[in-house]
Structure 1
Amino acid sequence: MHRREFLAGVAAVGVAGHTLLSPYPTAAQTTGQPTALPIEKIPRWRGFNLQWERHQGDAMAHPFAEEDFATMQDWGFNFARLPLSYWIWGKPTDWTYINEEPLKELDRAIDLGKQHSIHINLNFHRIPGYCINQRELEPADLFTGRVDERRRALEAAVYHWRYFAKRFKGVPTTQLSFDLINEPPKMRSYEGEFQERYVEVVKALVAAIREESPRRLIFADGINIGQNPVIELAPMNIVQSTRGYQPKAVSHYGANWVPKDEYETTKVPTWPLTDDKGTRWDRARLQVEYVDKYKELTDLGVQIHVGEWGCYNQTPHDVALAWMSDCTSVWKQAGWGNALWNLRGTFGVLDSERKDVAYEDYKGHKLDRKMLEVLKKA
C-alpha cells in the first residue's frame, strides 16, 4: 500500500491547496455526506487495556496472550481496549507505508476476543501526527503544526483509519469497535481553535471509516487529555470515551512522568483527599468531575465509556482501593462501562509490584485479589 492508494484515500477528505475542506457539505459544497447509521445502546462493557508487547528487542512474538482473554472471561469481564501505535505497521518517515504482517496479530486478537466473548476496541494511541507521549517525534503535528503540516498529518490519519475500516469490514460491530485518537492534547481552555481542530479531525476520520464500513461502532476521546466532553460531536452518532484519573494526586502519586503542576498536592495521598487549595475530593466530587459535566451530552442520548483509568502502584493500597471503589460506584450508577489501565503491570490487578499487598498466586502471576473484587463489583 503506497502513494497511489494513499492519494485516493486523501481525495475523499477534500483537500485543496492549503485549505482543509470539511468531509461534510457546506453551503459551498454539494458532495454527498456518508450516512451515519443509528447505533444501538452499547452494553456496559467492563474490562482492561491490553498493551502490544514486544519481545527480544524489536522482534515480535505474539503480542497478546491468550491467557489474558481467558482470564478476563473467567472473571466476568467483556471488553479489551488495545492501544496501538501506527509505527507497528507503518513508518513515521513514510506515512503511505503499511506492512500487513504485524496486522495479522490484530486479526488474532479479534479472534481471541470472539472465542472468549470479549469485545475488542482498537485505539490509535499514536496516530500520524500525534501521540500524548513523545509527540515531538512525529514529522508533522496534527493539531499545532503549520497549515500544510496539519493537512498532511490528517491525510495520513485518514489513510490509516480507512485502511483499518476496509481490512476489518467483515467483523461484526458487536465484536469490534474503533477508538480514533488517544487523549487529544491538553488545552488552556476548552473552547477555541484547538477544539475546533479536534472536531474537524474527528469528522474527517469518521467520514472515511463510514464510507468503508457504515455500521462500525466508533469511539472518540474527550478533549483535554480525554477528560472533557465535546458537545460538537454529539450529532455524529459515536460513543465518547472519557478518563478516570482524577485527582492525579491519588491516581498517579509517585509517577515521575507527570508534570508537577498537574498534581493537586504532592503529599502522600489519603481518600478522601484535601488538596493544597483546600478542596475536598470524595465520592461527591467524583460525581461532579466524572459524570455531571457530561450531562449535556447524555441528555442528548450520547453514550459514554471510561476508556482508561487506574491507580499507580506507589499509592498506598488501602487508599487506592477506597478511591477505586468510589470511581466505579459513580460510573455504575451512571450506567457506564470502563477499562482499567491495565490488566498486568503497575496499574493492574496482576503483577503490579506494589509493596503493601499480600498477593495471591494465580496461574503463575501475582494477583491483587482485593482490587479484583472492587472491579468485579463495578
Structure 2
Amino acid sequence: MKRRDFIAQFSMTVVAAGVAPACLSDIVPAMNKLPRWRGFNLLDFFSPDPAHRVQHTTDEHLKWMRDWGFDFIRLPIAYPYYLHIDRTKNISPEDVYHINDQAVEEIVRLVDKANQYGLHVSVNLHRAPGYCINAGFHEPFNLWKDEVAQQAFYFHWNMWARQFKDRSAKQVSFDLINEPAMREDMNDQHSPATALPGELYRKIIVGAAHAIWKENPSRIILADGNHVGNDIIPEIEDLNIAQSCRGYYPHAISHYKAPWANKDPEHMPVPVWPGQIGNQYFDRHKLEKYYQPWIQLVQKGIGVHCGECGCWNQTPHSVFLSWFGDVLDILTAAGIGYALWNFIGDFGVLNSGRSDVQYENWYGYQLDRQLLELLMKH
C-alpha cells in the first residue's frame, strides 16, 4: 500500500476515540485481562542499523527459555532496521515509508520460530517514527508534535498488523511504543523527560490501534505507561488496550552507574536494599506504593504487564537480587507478568558481565544461576 493510499483509507476508518473493536475478555482470564506472561526482551532488532546487530537468537536459546518455564518474549525493534535507506545520510520523512521486505521477513521468521517453541511474542517499536527514549539516531520529525510523524507511525503499525494478520492472540501482541515521554531535545540522552499530555497520548494510541484492528480486531495491544513507562494512562482506561509498566524503580538501584541514564554515573551513591541511597530511603513499602496504581488497573479489569525489568551489571549482585525479589513478589501477587531486560547481556541471565557473580558454564555461556532461579520462582 502506498503512503497516500494508506493515509486516505486510514482517515476514513478512524472512528470515535471511545470505540474499541478488540475484546480481550474473550481470550484472556478475567482477573488480569492479560495472561501472566513471563520471559525476556530479545535485542536482535534493537539497533537502527542491521550492520550493528549484536544478538542473533537461536533455536537453542528459545528452547532454553521454554524448558526453564518461560512463555514470553518482547521484541523491541528500531524501525530503521527494516527500512531500505541510504545509511550514510540523515533519514528523510519520505524514507520512513521505504520498507525493506527482506528485513521484515527476517523479523517475522524470529516471531514464527518463537511461536513454535510455545513463546508468545510482543512486537514493540522501541524506536518509532519520530520518537525514541534513547538518542543515537537522527529522527526526521517529532511524533508528539508533527502530524506527518503520526501518520507514519500508523502506517508502520498497519504494516505489522497485515504481516501478522493470521496469528492468534496467543501467538502475537503489539506493544505500541517504548517508554513515551516529552523531551525538548530528542538527541540529548540526558535532556529532562516529562509526561506527555494525556489527551495527546490517547490520540496517538487510538490512531495506531485502529490501524491495527482494521486488519485483526482481536489483536491484543499494549501501551507503555506515560512518563517513560512509570505512570498509568487514565485517559485510555475506557479502551480495550492493556498497559505496560516497568520494573526499574528506583533507578538508583536498577541503573546504578549506567552512563546513558545518569549525567554523573561515577559519583552515584552505592545502592543498598532496603536503606538510604543518597538523600532518599527506599524499602518494600515504597515499592508497593509505586506499583499501587498499576495494581488498581488490574482490579478495574484492565490488562497490565511489566514489559521491562531488571538491573544493570554495576549494582552489587546481592542488592540486586534482594530488591528484585521484592519487585517480582509484588508483581506476582497482583497477577502481573514480566519480561527481563534482557536475555543475553548486561541485564541478562547469560553473559551479564558482573564482577561479583560465581557464574555457571552453560553451553559456553556464563549463566547467573541465582538470577535464573529467582525468575523461575516467580
- TM-score bin (small chain): 0.7 to 0.9
Q: Residue in 2 aligned with 1:293?
A: 293
Q: Is 2:318 the partner of 1:318?
A: yes
Q: Secondary structure at the match of 2:238?
A: helix
Q: Given that residues 226 and 242 in structure 1 are in contact (C-alpha distance below 8 angstroms), is that contact kept between their aligned partners in structure 2?
A: yes
Q: Give structure 1 stretches of 5+ with no counterpart.
A: 16-21, 27-31
Aligned residues: 353
Q: Residue in 2 aligned with 1:87?
A: 80
Q: Given that residues 63 and 105 in structure 1 are in contact (C-alpha distance below 8 angstroms), is that contact kept between their aligned partners in structure 2?
A: no
List, as ranges, runs of 4+ consecutive aligned residues in structure 1 with deviation greater than 4 Å.
59-62, 186-191
Measured after TM superposition, the shift of residue 9 of structure 1 is 1.9
Measured after TM superposition, the shift of residue 186 of structure 1 is 5.1
Q: Residue in 2 aligned with 1:64?
A: 57
Q: Residue in 1 aligned with 2:218?
A: 215
Quickly say closer, same or farther: Cα 1:230–1:61, change in 2 above 3 A: closer
Q: Given that residues 313 and 354 in structure 1 are in contact (C-alpha distance below 8 angstroms), is that contact kept between their aligned partners in structure 2?
A: yes
Q: Given that residues 231 and 297 in structure 1 are in contact (C-alpha distance below 8 angstroms), is that contact kept between their aligned partners in structure 2?
A: no
What does 1:101-112 align with in structure 2 at a 5 Å threshold?
101-112=102-113
Q: Is 2:225 the partner of 1:239?
A: no
The Cα RMSD (Å) is 2.6
Q: Secondary structure at the match of 1:204?
A: helix
Q: Given that residues 177 and 218 in structure 1 are in contact (C-alpha distance below 8 angstroms), is that contact kept between their aligned partners in structure 2?
A: yes
Q: What one-letter code is carried by the residue in structure 2 that aligns with 1:181?
A: I
Shifted more, 198-207 versus 111-120: the winner is: 111-120
Measured after TM superposition, the shift of residue 12 of structure 1 is 4.1
Q: Residue in 1 aligned with 2:15?
A: 24
What does 1:217-296 align with in structure 2 at a 5 Å threshold?
217-260=220-263, 266-277=268-279, 279-290=280-291, 292-296=292-296
Q: Is 2:172 the partner of 1:172?
A: no
> Which whole-Å CA distance do the structure 2 matches of 1:62 and 1:287 have between them?
35
Instruction: Give CA deviations for 1:16-54 in whole Å, capped at 9, x if unaligned.
Output: xxxxxx93338xxxxx96623344233211000000168
Q: Given that residues 43 and 54 in structure 2 are in contact (C-alpha distance below 8 angstroms), is that contact kept between their aligned partners in structure 1?
A: no
> Which whole-Å CA distance do the structure 2 matches of 1:101 and 1:62 have between them?
18
> Which whole-Å CA distance do the structure 2 matches of 1:354 and 1:201 have between them?
40
> Which whole-Å CA distance do the structure 2 matches of 1:295 and 1:306 have between them?
11
Quickly say closer, same or farther: Cα 1:308–1:158, change in 2 above 3 A: same
- TM-score (normalizing by structure 1): 0.87
Instruction: Give CA deviations for 1:65-95 in whole Å, capped at 9, x if unaligned.
Output: 2222111011111100000011111254212
Q: What one-letter code is carried by the residue in structure 1 that aligns with 2:56?
A: P
Measured after TM superposition, the shift of residue 102 of structure 1 is 1.1
Quickly say closer, same or farther: Cα 1:325–1:122, change in 2 above 3 A: same
Instruction: Give CA deviations for 1:170-205 in whole Å, capped at 9, x if unaligned.
Output: 1111011100000001578977x6322111100100
Measured after TM superposition, the shift of residue 283 of structure 1 is 1.5
Quickly say closer, same or farther: Cα 1:131–1:190, change in 2 above 3 A: closer
Q: Residue in 2 aligned with 1:8?
A: 5
Quickly say closer, same or farther: Cα 1:373–1:228, change in 2 above 3 A: same
Quickly say closer, same or farther: Cα 1:36–1:250, change in 2 above 3 A: same
Q: Secondary structure at the match of 2:237?
A: helix
- Identity within the alignment, %: 39
What does 1:30-69 align with in structure 2 at a 5 Å threshold?
35-39=21-25, 40-41=28-29, 42-52=34-44, 58=51, 63-69=56-62
Q: Secondary structure at the match of 1:306?
A: strand
What does 1:155-166 align with in structure 2 at a 5 Å threshold?
155-166=151-162
> Which whole-Å CA distance do the structure 2 matches of 1:353 and 1:216 have between them?
38
Q: Secondary structure at the match of 1:137?
A: coil
Q: What one-letter code is carried by the residue in structure 2 that aligns with 1:244?
A: G
Quickly say closer, same or farther: Cα 1:271–1:35, change in 2 above 3 A: same
> Which whole-Å CA distance do the structure 2 matches of 1:295 and 1:116 have between them?
30
Quickly say closer, same or farther: Cα 1:12–1:43, change in 2 above 3 A: same
> Which whole-Å CA distance do the structure 1 matches of 2:116 and 2:283 have between them?
40
Q: Secondary structure at the match of 1:131?
A: coil
Q: Give structure 2 stretches of 5+ with no counterpart.
A: 86-90, 184-191
- TM-score (normalizing by structure 2): 0.87
Measured after TM superposition, the shift of residue 10 of structure 1 is 1.5
